[in-house]
Amino acid sequence: MALQAAGLNNASFFSSSSQLHIHISAQDRPGILAEALAFIVQTGWNVVDIKQFVFNGLLNLSILLDGCDESLILSLREELSAYAEQMDFKVTVYPWKTATRPDAPYAYRSVVTLLCDSIPSSGFQEITRIFAGLDINILRIEQLDSGDVHALEFVIGTREAHSSEEVLDALVKFKEHYGVDIAVQEETYFRRNKRLIVLDADMTFLQCEVIDELGKLAGVGDKIAAITRQAVNGEMDFKSALLKRVQLLKGLPTEKLQQLSNSLPLTPGAESLVNILKYLGYKIALVSGGFQFFIDKIRDDYGLDYGVANQLKIENGKVSGELEGQIIDAEAKEKTLVALAEKEGFSLRQVVAVGDGANDIKMLARVGLGIAFNAKPLVQRHARASINQSNLKLILYFLGINGQELKELDEVVRGGKIQSWPA
């Protein structure tokens, strides 16, 4: 195919620009870049920038050049034209004005990750319209997965600072209309280097409220569940709600606690998430407003690093109706998270926190990635990420892991192929 040129016959080109942009599109195969560079090298031009990606088998290659004697442009054009004709490529050559390349373009960058069943064309139009309305440039779009879950990653940039909250606020209606889960994170090395995950237990790691289940065993299930709803929705102080519910459990035999601990339902994806993150070197903690009796068992059963919760007081083999020690409320959860990060030597920007209730808001807001998991609207408004599907493994997409990598990791941890790095 004939070479396409823009502006190269314009005499003013050399007075306004010292650079040349070459773009090649072709069916991908090994060696295309090497062949293109062979033509460029003989002209004396310097390669100052290169960008290449493959989309559905189509190679897109851009090369930025400068420093050439203008007399060699014609020969370069002729060589590339013949090359394009021979190889059935499309080649575009056009001048590039250095004035159009700011020294620090898009100094402020974020990553917006979308999780959904599918997004129609109207959805793509809507989200790009929202970004444009905020004067945000889309720098890159990558599809992380297109199987059972569609996962898309938008890298966006601005020349002036913008907050994650501003972007999230603008995406609220889009999120609700299309049923999309969204995470907004700063695009920094910390996003790609998370080291600690702190999870709430009840209705997050577990698919139940443990204290509600204890209430059923004690014959006061309705009373306890009503108080729980108020606490989770932020309608009642957590500490007061907890003490009221514990008092209602007075007299419950410890045998009932043991019975329940053996049948607690994990949230789908919880065990897989733990195994994969352990394999990747994460530290994993449960920090719960529930009870240490159950958290200890979960920690031991699944090899978690930490488990922190409230201590039920037991007297004569029965629940006394009181607690011992510190109450793990919102402030205690936040302090525990900070203490664990400090103990392990991690920045808070390297921490992921996951929870569903008002009791989790402070710890979600404190970390690099706070995820509201099947949470109430109040909690979602205070988190930079949300998942409204019952599968904890979806968190891995927010960490930048794509579908193919996820399959490989699943095979490794399921097949017992975990090995140390070779010496």
Quick: pLDDT tens for 296-319.
999 999 999 999 999 999 999 999
Task: Provide the 3-class DSSP secondary structure of residue 278.
Answer: helix
User: Predicted confidence band at 423 (pLDDT cuts at 50, 70, 90)?
Assistant: very low
What is the CB-side half-sphere exposure of residue 72 using CA atoms within 13 A? Answer: 14
Measured distance CA(64)–CA(46) in Å, rounded? 8
Q: What is the pTM of this model?
A: 0.86
- Report residue 283: phi and psi, to 5°: -95, 140
Does residue 293 register a pLDDT over 50? Answer: yes
pLDDT band per the 50, 70, 90 thresholds, residue 341: very high
Question: Which of residues 194 and 16 earns the better pLDDT score?
Answer: 194
How does the average pLDDT of the chain come out, rounded? 88
pLDDT of 10 reads 42
Spatial distance between the Cα atoms of 239 and 363, rounded to a whole number of angstroms: 17
Domains and CATH numbers, the chain: 4-100 (3.30.70.260), 108-187 (3.30.70.260), 197-210+256-414 (3.40.50.1000)
pLDDT tens across 95-142, in order? 776 545 544 567 789 999 999 988 889 999 999 999 999 889 999 999
pLDDT the model gives residue 98: 59
Residues with catalytic function:
200, 202
- pLDDT tens-digit profile of 27-39? 998 988 888 888 7
- Residue 419 main-chain phi, psi, to 5 deg: -130, 150
Q: Which of 44, 40, 34 is nearest to 22 (CA)?
A: 40
What's CA 8's distance to the chain center, in Å? 44
The C-alpha atoms of residue 253 and residue 217 are separated, in whole angstroms, by: 10
Compute the average pLDDT of residues 268-292.
Answer: 97
